[in-house]
């Protein structure tokens, strides 16, 4: 494939935007080469600036669960735009999406909308601290909760890819209140509680990690965290920015039958517009301004275009729960196909999957935490990534990212993808 115009556009972008991108992982630094510039997208396909058609496994990092330019979402946004794009005053659409989200997600009474997953997680932690009157949080290495200071401590994907797990600019004071431990290691969490008994406000976790590849919680791990929080009076925060409305109507809480105290959302909930949200039962949410003392605000929060896109998206998922099964079947088909082909070509690998999230790791170790995820052979991944791109398939440009399937993908698209894997695997 030819990427002449993309390369030229990237060179021009680099003059005015740091690294040419507005979010680091887009820059292809960990796979080499220059990024593909997108002109438009429809269904399962991206169309780039050189006129190439690419099958998309990024789905805008999650939101496009129904495929790109999904009709009901586009209609909702264009109809809304005619009526004005922002008022800074309440609208009925905000209540409509809030009511729907509360009905879909277990254990929440109220939800507050913000503009990104970062804001959602940052605000959830402030709320947990305000509610418990404690300062410290527990975070797991390799989990990503957005780029606010408290979370930029071994933060997965972007941060890991660039070898700067601790970003300059994060103060030591902030870092001190974030206690770090390993995913799927309940003993270490227990020890942290023992050593900091009355100081821990919350555990924040991706219930299925998606920012160090796709990593599933071991049997009983999340339940163990739930019990520890209950014993020690801390809150359990599920960061469902990736998993919310993707793994099931009620997200990971529904999949695993475990209730968190605060849940954060982003990605799917905005239908492709900038939206995040955090939610909890009344007792906790009523601590938030203007009802309570914990401050949180946003000029564009609950923006009418964003809310109408999110409402259209959630309505589709709520009315058609078969989408989740259809996605799961497609992802399983891809999983089995890739495993068969990599075995055929004797390429060492591990594949992790749940629902429509999947990751392929070029390693001999089971991938169940950040350390094992880092054993993947990045040279193999680079070759695999570029080989697939040449065949017209756009995978996430980092070995630490989960792939996201969208329901517009056909079995023909999946077979096309597997055909490409068969070719590319010979080069690994």
Q: How many residues in total does the chain contain?
A: 428
Let me know if 45 is a catalytic residue.
no
We find the least distance from the C-beta atom of residue 144 to ligand PLP, in angstroms, to be 5
Q: Is 244 in the site for ligand PLP (CB under 6 A)?
A: no
Comparison of 151 and 193: residue with beta carbon closer to ligand PLP? 151
- The answer to whether 182 and 188 have CB atoms below 8 angstroms apart is yes
Our finding on whether 116 is near ligand PLP (CB under 6 A) is yes
The nearest distance, CB 312 to ligand PLP, in angstroms, is: 19
User: Please, which residue, 234 or 277, has the CB nearer to ligand PLP?
Assistant: 277
d(CA 85, CA 92): 14
Please report whether residue 213 would count as binding ligand PLP according to CB under 6 A.
Answer: no
Strands 235-239 and 200-205, bridge-based pairing: parallel
| Residue 266 binds ligand PLP, judged by CB under 6 A | yes
Give the one residue of 117, 213, 355, 396 binding ligand PLP; rule: CB under 6 A: 117
Which residues in 120-149 contact ligand PLP (CB under 6 A)?
A: 121, 144-146
Out of 41, 138, 205, 242, the only residue in the binding site for ligand PLP (CB under 6 A) is: 242
Task: Give ∠ CA 173-235-252 in degrees, rounded to 5.
Answer: 115
Binding ligand PLP (rule: CB under 6 A), the pick from 206, 261, 391, 401 is 206
* String of contacts with ligand PLP for each residue 159-198, x by CB under 6 A: ----------------------------------------
Q: Which residues bind ligand PLP (CB under 6 A)?
A: 116-118, 121, 144-146, 206, 210-211, 239, 241-242, 266, 276
Catalytic residues: 144, 239, 267
């Amino acid at each position: 494939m030819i990427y002449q115009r993309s390369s030229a556009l990237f060179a021009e972008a680099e003059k005015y935007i740091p690294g040419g991108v507005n979010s680091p992982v887009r820059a292809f630094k960990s796979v080499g080469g220059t990024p593909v510039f997108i002109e438009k997208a429809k269904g399962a396909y991206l169309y780039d600036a050189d006129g190439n058609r690419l099958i998309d496994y990024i789905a805008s990092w999650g939101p496009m669960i129904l495929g790109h330019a999904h009709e009901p979402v586009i209609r909702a946004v264009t109809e809304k735009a005619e009526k004005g794009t922002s008022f800074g005053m309440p609208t009925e659409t905000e209540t409509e999406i809030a009511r729907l989200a509360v009905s879909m997600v277990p254990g929440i009474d109220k939800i507050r909308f913000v503009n990104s997953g970062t804001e959602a997680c940052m605000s959830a932690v402030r709320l947990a601290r305000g509610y418990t009157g404690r300062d410290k949080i527990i975070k797991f290495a390799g989990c990503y909760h957005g780029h606010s200071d408290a979370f930029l401590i071994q933060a997965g994907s972007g941060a890991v890819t660039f070898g700067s797990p601790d970003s300059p600019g994060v103060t030591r004071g902030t870092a001190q209140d974030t206690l770090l431990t390993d995913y799927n290691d309940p003993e270490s969490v227990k020890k942290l509680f023992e050593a900091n008994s009355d100081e821990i406000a919350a555990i924040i976790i991706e219930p299925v990690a998606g920012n160090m590849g796709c990593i599933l919680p071991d049997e009983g791990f999340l339940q163990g965290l739930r019990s520890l929080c209950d014993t020690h009076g801390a809150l359990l925060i599920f960061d469902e920015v990736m998993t919310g409305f993707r793994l099931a109507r009620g997200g990971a809480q529904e999949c695993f039958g475990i209730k968190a105290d605060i849940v954060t959302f982003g990605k799917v909930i905005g239908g492709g517009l900038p939206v995040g949200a955090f939610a909890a039962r009344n007792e906790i949410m009523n601590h938030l301004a203007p009802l309570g003392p914990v401050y949180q605000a946003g000029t564009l929060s609950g923006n009418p275009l964003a809310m109408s896109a999110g409402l259209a998206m959630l309505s589709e998922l709520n009315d058609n729960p078969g989408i989740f099964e259809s996605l799961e079947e497609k992802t399983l088909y891809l999983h089995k196909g890739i495993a068969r082909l990599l075995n055929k070509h004797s390429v060492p690998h591990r594949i992790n999957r749940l629902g429509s999230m999947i990751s392929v790791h070029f390693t001999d170790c089971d991938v169940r935490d950040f350390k094992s995820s880092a054993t993947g052979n990045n040279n193999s991944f680079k070759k695999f990534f570029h080989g697939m791109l040449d065949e017209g398939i756009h995978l996430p440009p980092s070995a630490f990212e989960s792939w996201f399937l969208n329901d517009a993908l056909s079995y023909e698209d999946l077979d096309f993808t597997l055909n490409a894997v068969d070719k590319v695997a010979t080069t690994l």
